[in-house]
Amino acid sequence: MNVTIKDIARHAGVSTATVSNVLTQKKYVSSDLEQRVFQAINELGYRPNVYARNLKTNRSHIIGVHVPDITNPFFSEGVKALQSVAAGESYQIVLYDSDNNLESEVKNIAGMISTQVDGIIAVAPRMQVDELLAMVEVPLVIVDRPPLPTQRNVAYVYADNYRGAASVADFLVGKGYRRFYCLAGPTELVCNAEARLTGFTETLRLHGIPDTACHVSYGDFTFDSGYELMKAILETYDPAGSPAAAFVSSDIMAWGAMEALKEKKFKIPRDMGVVGYDNIYFSSFLYPKLTTVENPIREMAVNAANLMLDALERRRNLLGLSVALRSALIVRKSC
């Protein structure tokens, strides 16, 4: 049998309410009694039972975090930042990895709800926002996805993917590239994938590049899909045409595409330029160093965690809040 608050109360000669007041620091307790309570706690080795506390306060101090794929450095960097900010206010993170899969994402969100997390931080969710909102009643922060008008306790933290992609198009056209391969993400599921694609293609059009000069193919942000997509492109690729560049929707995917290029003995950027997206830590150590767009995941994560803590600890309503961060082109050696 464990030592409970009653044992402490008896041992210290006070009531259980007093012990509780000492622990929660919410009401004034005379220093004499406080002393005796602390002494009893030490002598008996008391640990508060969080299950009981949770039941009464209807809080768990647990934040549910969804990511599409924790092995993608982009997300693991985000989770790390999230965890560290949350720990600062003694909140715990329960992690859900959906493996880039809409179905398990739905399951995971349902799982979070049935474990009664205090709030949910969804990083790059694939679900529709209204579906999400239909399930979620706790505070929700959506990371890496642009805001939608809503009536609910939701905040958004995001960077402008359309403009990020547009700046890539500007840059590549300026560099003299005239043939383009856009290795997109799953645009029907992920609106960032959509934004990166349209930002790129529409800007090309503004520069007078004909649509026929931009070939689009669709993957799912993973290394493997970048590899496969580029492999398919190279089967019909004509090396004699005008200068070509690939805009790939994530750094990891770009890495895969670069492997496919190297396998066919293509030199980057001489035979084909490559631009990624995200600027993960490792992208400056690829060979060649990857030109990419900064997608500030750490800042996003820190903002998301702070918004969530505001909602939970300071009862701030998240409705209508959104934090927009900058996406800047980072030019390196791959084009």
Burial class (CB in 10 A: 0-12, 13-18, 19+), 10: middle
Identify whether the C-beta of residue 233 lies closer than 8 Å to the C-beta of residue 200. Answer: no
* Main-chain dihedrals φ then ψ at residue 112, nearest 5 degrees: -60, -45
Type of residue numbered 191: C
Residues 54-83 close enough to bind a second copy by CB under 8 A? 54-55, 58, 60-62, 69-71, 73, 76-77, 79-80, 83
Q: How far apart are CA 36 and CA 8, in angstroms?
A: 9
Cβ closer to DNA: 32 or 235? 32
Complex with a second copy: residue 7 or 160, whichever CB lies closer: 7
Min CB(92)–DNA separation in Å = 17
Question: Shortest approach of a second copy to residue 224 CB, angstroms?
Answer: 10
45 in the Ramachandran plot: left (φ > 0), alpha (ψ -120 to 50) or beta? left
Q: Could you tell me the smallest distance in angstroms from the CB atom of residue 42 to DNA?
A: 15
Question: Pick from 224, 104, 242, 115: which is nearest to 173 by CA?
Answer: 242
Closest CA to 332 of 265, 254, 259, 239: 254
- Please tell me the distance from the alpha carbon of residue 124 to that of residue 166, in angstroms, as a whole number: 20
3-state secondary structure of 135: helix
Measured distance CA(227)–CA(234) in Å, rounded: 11
Site for a second copy in 283-312 (CB under 8 A): 285, 287
Instruction: Report if residue 281 touches a second copy, rule: CB under 8 A.
Output: yes
Number of residues binding to DNA, judged by CB under 7 A: 34
The yes or no reply on residue 23 touching a second copy (CB under 8 A) is: no
Count of CA atoms in the C-beta half-sphere (13 A) of 47:
5
Q: What are the DSSP calls for 212-264, one per residue? A: GGEEEEE--SSHHHHHHHHHHHHHS--TTSS-EEEEESSHHHHHHHHHHHHHT
List the interface residues with DNA, window 52-111 (CB under 7 A): 52-53, 55-58
The nearest distance, CB 313 to DNA, in angstroms, is: 14
Minimum gap (Å) between residue 178 Cβ and a second copy: 28
Per-residue mark of binding to a second copy, 244-263 (x: CB under 8 A) = -----------xx--x--x-
Which residue is it, tokens 């002494």? 39
- The interface with DNA within residues 2-41 (CB under 7 A) comprises 2, 4-6, 13-21, 23-24, 26-30, 32-33
With CB under 5 to 8 Å by kind, the binding choice for 24 among DNA, a second copy, none is DNA
- Binding of a second copy at residue 99 (CB under 8 A)? yes
Q: Cα 231 from chain centroid? A: 29
Q: Does 223 bind a second copy (CB under 8 A)?
A: yes
Per CB under 8 A, 92 contacts a second copy: yes
Q: At closest approach, how far in Å is the CB of 87 from DNA?
A: 20
DSSP letter for each residue of 298-331: HHHHHHHHHHHHHHHHS----TT-EEEE---EE-
Q: Which does 30 bind (CB under 5 to 8 A by kind): DNA, a second copy, none?
A: DNA
How far apart are CB 54 and DNA at their closest, in Å?
9
216 binds, among a second copy, DNA, none (CB under 5 to 8 A by kind): none
Binding residues vs a second copy (CB under 8 A): 47-52, 54-55, 58, 60-62, 69-71, 73, 76-77, 79-80, 83-84, 87, 90, 92-97, 99, 107-108, 111, 113-116, 223, 255-256, 259, 262, 281-282, 285, 287
Give the footprint of DNA on this chain (CB under 7 A).
1-2, 4-6, 13-21, 23-24, 26-30, 32-33, 46-49, 51-53, 55-58
